[in-house]
Structure 1
Amino acid sequence: MTALVARPEALELHDAGGTVVGSLEYAGSVDEALAALTAVLGGPPEEEPYDAGNHNAAGVMHIWDDALKVDEIHYGEGVARLGDATVGAPDFRVYFDQVEVRGKELVTRDGVHVGDAFDALGDRIDPDLWTCSGWAVEHVEVPDPQVGAAKYGVGLSEWEWDETAQNYGTQVDYVASVSAPVSVASGCV
């Protein structure tokens, strides 16, 4: 296994030839995903529990070397989920904050990495696939009883997070992080 590839519905594990050798669905078991990643990366992550907030449920951030984060979401603690896990209300999300972790590439299907300049990405970015923190490079459309259909994708953030600020931090001209799944929307609340 040489690469972790963020996709809209799952984190894929690829071999050196680009073949998918494993797939960890965001609506699947977070315990199984963590066990698989611990095996692939040769050790467990650090764990940082966090409280529920205005727009998020409580959870635990599982972090490998400040490069790969798996956000385990605890619904019912500030934010409720109706029914089973879906791509829109997953059991976990992933964040890439570096180009690789423990010798494994962190990348999107389109070959986008953290640090890539937005102006060099060309048509890999669809300006209609906007997220609250940047753009999405790939998406899926799923039925939604409230709006008919909702889009979820792989997000490219244009914001460097500042833990001391009360907002995203600083807007940048490069991919500050990659995350999935993210909501593709025309506006944020």
Structure 2
Amino acid sequence: MKLATRRTPIIVAVAAVLLLAGCSAAAPTPTTTPDAAEQPEASPTPTVEPEPVDPLTTVATIVVRPEQLELLDASDAVITTLSYDDEAAEFIGALTTVLGAAPAQSESEGGLESPPSTAYDWDGLSVRDDHEADVATEGEGTYDGIDMNVSVNFATPTVGDGVAVRTVNGFQPGGDAEALAAELGEPWYDNGYDQVRVETGAPIGEPTPGIEYENAYSVAVNTWEHDGVSNTVFAPWNFGIGHV
């Protein structure tokens, strides 16, 4: 009985030590995940919109046709057309964008065989806006020849920043006009004043008696020298009426 009495204090002491150790241990901190709605929203990346490209700045080729210019891109798709009957401001404005520069401008009072006009000149290209309608309104008569609002005369195979110029069959200003005449079956006189008809549009009126050509607008290659160049591509020109 004495042995049992001695063990009792030891057991009590051990239990007390264990109880104290348990009470002194740090309680684990609970881990919580913030609700998704409480998460800060990421700032959206700003979207930079590309600057719009003017299609006229992508023109790679100008094709001279009887009644209009065709403006093509690098894949030879037609971007737009410019009619010779467009208002001069519209026509010149479009070409200014295509060529990347404004033209030099000059005025002419006209004469016996030509109406007053305004010329717009770039290197290799001259656009003439005749004021025939203004003259007719003033009662001073009209002039035979070009009834559309403007005409074009290309002197070089490229204009502006490398924009190619050609006719529908591939002839370029400054090319071999005599070979072109032979290819097309057009007359050639070799007198320095040959004018080769390249392409003719639809008739615009009755044929003129005694003239073999249609009364229609055409693209012409003029062989006479002007300002040091020849074999220029000119339009529109009507071979089917009398010219002085």
Q: TM-score, normalised by structure 1?
A: 0.79
Which residue identity lines up with residue 221 of structure 2 in the other structure?
Answer: L
Using the alignment, how far apart are the partners of 1:49 and 1:28 within structure 2? 19
Structure 1's 57 and 13: CA in aligned 2 closer, same or farther, altered over 3 A? same
Number of the residue aligned with 1:28: 86
Q: Any conservation in 2 of the 1:126–1:137 contact (CA below 8 Å)?
A: no
Question: Which whole-Å CA distance do the structure 2 matches of 1:162 and 1:39 have between them?
Answer: 25
Question: Comparing both structures, which one devotes a greater share of its residues to strand?
Answer: 1
Indicate conservation of the 8 Å contact 2:207/2:215, yes or no: no
| Corresponding letter in the other structure for 2:165 | L
Aligned: 1:161 with 2:226: yes
CA RMSD in angstroms comes to 3.0
> 145-154 or 70-79, which moves further after superposition?
145-154
Corresponding residue of 1:58? 116
Question: CA distance change for structure 1 residues 74 and 90 in 2, over 3 Å: closer, same or farther?
Answer: same
- Secondary structure in structure 2 of the residue aligned to 1:93: strand
Structure 1: state its 5+ residue gaps. Answer: 82-86, 164-171
Name the aligned partner's letter for residue 155 of structure 1: A
Partner of 1:107: 166
Cα distance in structure 1, aligned partners of 2:141 and 2:168: 31
**What residue in structure 1 maps to residue 99 of structure 2?**
41
Change (3 A) 1:146 1:139: closer
Between Structure 1 and Structure 2, how many residues are aligned? 173
Residue 19 (str. 1) matches residue 77 (str. 2): yes
Q: Contact 1:110–1:124 (CA<8 Å) still a contact in 2?
A: no
Q: Any idea what SS the aligned residue of 1:16 has?
A: coil
- 2:121 aligned partner, one-letter code: I
Match of 2:236 in 1: 181
- CA 1:116 to 1:146, structure 2 compared with 1: closer, same or farther past 3 Å? closer
Q: Deviations over 1:119-144 (max 9, x none)?
A: 4336543426x9x8501110013232
**Aligned match of 2:125:** 68
Look up the equivalent residue of 1:188 and give its one-letter code: H
TM-score (norm. length: structure 2): 0.62
Q: Distance in 2 between matches of 1:147 and 1:121?
A: 26
Displacement of 1:21: 0.7
Q: Could you tell me which amino acid in structure 2 is paired with residue 55 of structure 1?
A: E
**Once the 2 structures are TM-superposed, how far is the Cα of residue 147 of structure 1 from its aligned partner?**
3.7
Q: Secondary structure at the match of 1:21?
A: strand
Question: Hey, which of these two has a bigger chunk of helix by percent?
Answer: 2
- Report the Cα distance in structure 2 between the residues aligned to 1:42 and 1:186, rounded to whole angstroms: 37
Structure 2: which amino acid aligns with 1:15?
D
Which amino acid in the other structure matches residue 183 of structure 1? Answer: N
Q: 1:151 to 1:145 in 2, by over 3 A?
A: closer
Work out which of the residue numbers 199, 214, 219 in structure 2 matches 1:138. Answer: 199
Q: What amino acid is the match of 1:113?
A: Q
Give the AA of the match of 1:140: G
Structure 1 residues 79 and 116 mapped into 2: Cα distance closer, same or farther (>3 Å)?
farther
Q: What are structure 2's unaligned runs of at least 5 residues?
A: 1-58
Higher RCO (Cα < 8 Å, 6 or more apart): 1
**Equivalent residue letter for 1:141:** A
* Cα shift at 1:30: 1.6
